[in-house]
Copies of this chain bind each other. A is one copy, B any other.
Amino acid sequence: MNILCNQKKLSQAITNAQKAINNKTTIELLRGILITAKEGKLIVTGYDSELSIETNIDAQVNKEGSVVVNSRLIGEIVRKLPDTFISLETDADCNVYINCMNSRFKIKGLPAEEFPQIGDINVDNEVKINQIEMRNMIKQTVFATAIEPMNPTLAGELFELRDNNLSLVALDGYRLAVRKSEIKDGVDTDISAIIPGITLNHLNSLLTDDGEICVGFDSKNIIFKLKDTKIIARLIEGNFTKYDSLLPKDHMTKIKVETRKLQESIERASLLFTSPKNNLIKISIMKDMIAITSNNENGNAYEELDVEFEGNELEIAFNSRYFLDGIKNIDSEYISIEFGGEVNPAVIKPIDGPEYIYLILPVRFS
Contacts and interface: CB of A to CB of B under 8 A. Distances in A.
A77 interface: yes
A107 interface: yes
Contact of A108 (B70, B104, B299): B299
Contacts of A80: 264, 267-268, 271
A106 to B, nearest CB: 5
A2 interface: no
Contacts of A297: 108
A302 interface: yes
B268 A81 contact: yes
A283 interface: no
A106 B299 contact: yes
Nearest to A299: B107
Contacts of A264: 80
A219 interface: no
Contacts of A304: 102-103
Contacts of A267: 80
Given A303-B103, A304-B102, A305-B102, A108 B298 contact: yes
Contacts of A271: 73, 76-77, 80
Contacts of A303: 102-104
A215 interface: no
A268 to B, nearest CB: 5
A305 B82 CA distance: 14
Looking at A102, A267, A297, the one whose CB has the most chain B CB atoms below 10 A away is A102
A95 B301 contact: no
Given A80-B271, A102-B303, A272-B107, A298 B73 contact: yes
Interface string A48-80: 000000000000000000000010010011001
Contacts of A106: 299-301
Contacts of A332: none
A89 to B, nearest CB: 13
A95 B298 CA distance: 10
Nearest to A79: B271
A81 B265 CA distance: 9
A105 interface: yes
Contacts of A298: 70, 73, 107-108
Nearest to A261: B102
A105 B73 contact: no
A302 B101 CA distance: 11
Nearest to A109: B299
26 contacts: A70-B298, A73-B271, A73-B272, A73-B298, A77-B271, A80-B264, A80-B267, A80-B268, A80-B271, A81-B268, A95-B299, A102-B265, A103-B265, A103-B302, A103-B303, A103-B304, A104-B301, A105-B272, A105-B301, A105-B302, A106-B299, A107-B272, A107-B298, A107-B299, A108-B298, A108-B299
Given A103-B302, A105-B301, A107-B298, 11 more contacts: A73-B272, A77-B271, A80-B264, A80-B271, A81-B268, A102-B265, A105-B272, A105-B299, A105-B302, A106-B300, A108-B297
